[in-house]
């Protein structure tokens, strides 16, 4: 056993000492295994100082001190050791306490903001160095991260509709540098897939819409692509999930005719199509006849349609362990797993029907699913146990339309809410978020109320992404906020 110099102990010596077993899973931060007697009044700061002292993280050794967090029984220590003992052990000060320490998550640091001319509906950081965003101005934009706060978009790709883009994703994998595919889902019930010659600013060739993916009868709410970039899955307010396999070579003909009305509710029958030919109707706003206008891509039908949800699709995520599987979350309160090879729903977790799920993501380290919900919660789902439903719930003060798990951590995730707040959570300490960032803290004179186009702005956030180093978020405020946020 080891005694610790009690620098913080009061002169009257009334502070008791507690037996502590300090350990870590990090080989670079490990200290000698021993039971340390530590003043009960110590908090995170003093414990962190102790670890750095033992590791010799100081100016003399040329190493900077590292801030640490401390966990007892999986929960982050928020107060003093004495308070923890009173709450959890009834003043038992003799039994050794096992305390795990991990490097602290540092507060997000805002590094820039980009103003756009409408609500931001989707964001993606899955290609290093760039932000992909979709907006209700019905376009996709690509912003270079290195100068995103000061420069205009590298590319702006207009959708052939005035109804607005609802979500976006990079399709081609990161290493691909030419003929890059990206996609946006729209209120027009279509997924628009674009091809980009390259991301070089010297490129003179123009991007174009390569495919227009049909099949939904409601707005597209979520789109994801496989790691190979050869498949796209879209979810919609119609409750269905469509699976598309992209051609290996550009086709020479459409799979379906240019009859957009036939893909709307109640239109897909022979009698209605016959009546439309005899009595033509004006086209619905935002839906264009691709043959007559020359706008749009090769029209594709889904290769498979997955139907089981009883309400709108809130979000989709490709399984991070099995490329032949994906997960969906719905407004019906359920999370479902789908086997692409068999074409079936093989896992169903039905939560309360009033727990409408607006988004979903998966921890890459352990497979746990996380959903953001309309009832102001984040729910964690452990699908490895057949009887498990919701394994943990994080309380939030507003509905959560977008969440993103940390790419390497098993415990950290970020959320965006309708109240305009971004929060970073450690699920081992679920009562409170680690950090919160709010647009309400900005100077009122800096906040726009309308855009140049006259679009009225609000506070609700709609989209968020996090690559483990950079976090971006946007929504009704008509801006993309950019933060440095390591989160692990």
DSSP class of residue 97 equals E
Question: How far apart are alpha carbons 410 and 426 in whole angstroms?
Answer: 9
pLDDT at 373 over 90: yes
Across 50-64, 70-84, 262-276, least confident range: 262-276
Confidence tier at 282 by pLDDT (50, 70, 90) = very low
Question: How far apart are alpha carbons 203 and 327 in whole angstroms?
Answer: 37
Tens digits of residue pLDDT in 152-168? 788 999 999 889 999 99
Average pLDDT score over residue span 145-158: 78
In terms of residues, how long is the chain? 488
Angle at 204 between CA 201 and CA 207, to 5 degrees: 90
Sheet holding 139-144, edge to edge: 120-124, 130-135, 139-144, 155-158
Give residue 271's pLDDT.
44
Give residue 217's pLDDT.
95
Instruction: Dump the DSSP string for 388-438.
Output: --EEEEEE-SS---EEEE-SS-SSEEEEE-TTSEEEEEETTSTTS-SEEEE
Confidence tier at 204 by pLDDT (50, 70, 90) = confident
How large is the C-alpha radius of gyration of the chain? 26
Tens digits of residue pLDDT in 122-141? 999 999 999 999 999 999 99
264-269: long-range contacts, CB 8 A cutoff, minimum separation 24: 264/189, 264/217, 265/217, 265/218, 265/238
Domains of the chain, start order: 2-103 (3.10.20.90), 109-250+301-484 (2.130.10.10)
Confidence tier at 270 by pLDDT (50, 70, 90) = low
Give residue 445's pLDDT.
55
Across 15-19, 104-108, 116-120, 274-278, least confident range: 274-278
DSSP, collapsed to helix, strand or coil, labels residue 87 as: helix
Give residue 291's pLDDT.
43
Q: How many CA atoms lie within 13 A of 83 on its CB side?
A: 8
- The reported pTM is 0.82
Q: Residue 182: which of 145, 221, 229 has the closest Cα?
A: 229
pLDDT at 284 over 50: no
């Amino acid at each position: 056993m080891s005694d610790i110099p009690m620098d913080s102990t009061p002169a009257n010596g009334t502070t008791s000492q507690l037996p502590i077993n300090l350990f870590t899973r990090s080989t670079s931060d490990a200290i000698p295994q021993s039971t340390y007697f530590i003043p009960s009044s110590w908090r995170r700061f003093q414990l962190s100082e102790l670890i750095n002292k033992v590791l010799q993280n100081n100016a003399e050794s040329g190493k900077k001190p590292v801030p640490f967090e401390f966990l007892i029984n999986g929960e982050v220590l928020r107060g003093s050791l004495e308070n923890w003992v009173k709450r959890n052990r009834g003043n038992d000060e003799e039994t050794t306490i096992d305390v795990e320490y991990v490097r602290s998550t540092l507060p997000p640091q805002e590094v820039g903001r980009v103003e756009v001319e409408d609500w931001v509906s989707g964001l993606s950081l899955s290609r290093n160095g760039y932000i992909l965003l979709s907006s209700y101005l019905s376009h996709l934009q690509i912003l270079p991260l290195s100068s995103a706060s000061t420069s205009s978009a590298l590319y702006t790709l207009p959708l052939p509709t005035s109804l607005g883009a609802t979500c976006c994703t990079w399709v081609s994998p990161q290493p691909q540098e030419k003929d890059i595919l990206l996609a946006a889902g729209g209120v027009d019930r279509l997924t628009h897939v674009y091809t980009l010659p390259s991301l070089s600013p010297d490129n003179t060739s123009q991007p174009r819409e390569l495919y227009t993916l049909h099949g939904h009868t409601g707005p597209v709410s979520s789109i994801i692509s496989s790691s190979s970039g050869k498949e796209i899955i879209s979810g919609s307010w119609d409750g269905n999930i469509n699976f598309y396999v992209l051609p290996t070579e550009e086709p020479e003909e459409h799979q379906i005719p240019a009859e957009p009305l036939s893909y709307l509710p109640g239109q897909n029958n022979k009698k209605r199509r016959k009546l439309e030919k005899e009595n033509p109707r004006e086209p619905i706003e935002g839906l264009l006849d691709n043959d007559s206008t020359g706008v749009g891509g090769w029209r594709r039908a889904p290769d498979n349609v997955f139907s089981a949800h009883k309400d709108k699709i809130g979000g989709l995520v490709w399984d991070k362990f099995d490329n032949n599987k994906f997960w969906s979350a719905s407004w019906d309160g359920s999370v479902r797993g789908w086997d692409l090879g068999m074409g079936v729903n093989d896992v169903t977790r039905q939560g309360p029907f009033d727990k409408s799920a607006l988004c979903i993501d998966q921890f890459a380290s352990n497979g746990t699913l996380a959903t953001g919900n309309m009832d102001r919660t984040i729910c964690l789902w452990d699908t490895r146990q057949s009887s498990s439903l919701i394994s943990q719930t994080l309380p939030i003060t507003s509905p959560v339309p977008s969440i993103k798990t940390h790419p390497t951590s098993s415990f950290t995730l970020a959320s965006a809410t309708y109240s305009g707040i971004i929060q970073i959570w450690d699920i081992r300490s679920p009562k409170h978020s680690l950090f919160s960032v709010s647009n309400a803290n900005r100077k009122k004179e800096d906040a726009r109320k309308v855009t140049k186009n006259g679009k009225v702005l609000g506070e609700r956030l709609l989209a968020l992404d996090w690559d483990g180093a950079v976090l971006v978020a946007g929504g009704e405020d008509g801006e993309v906020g950019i933060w440095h946020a390591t989160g692990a």
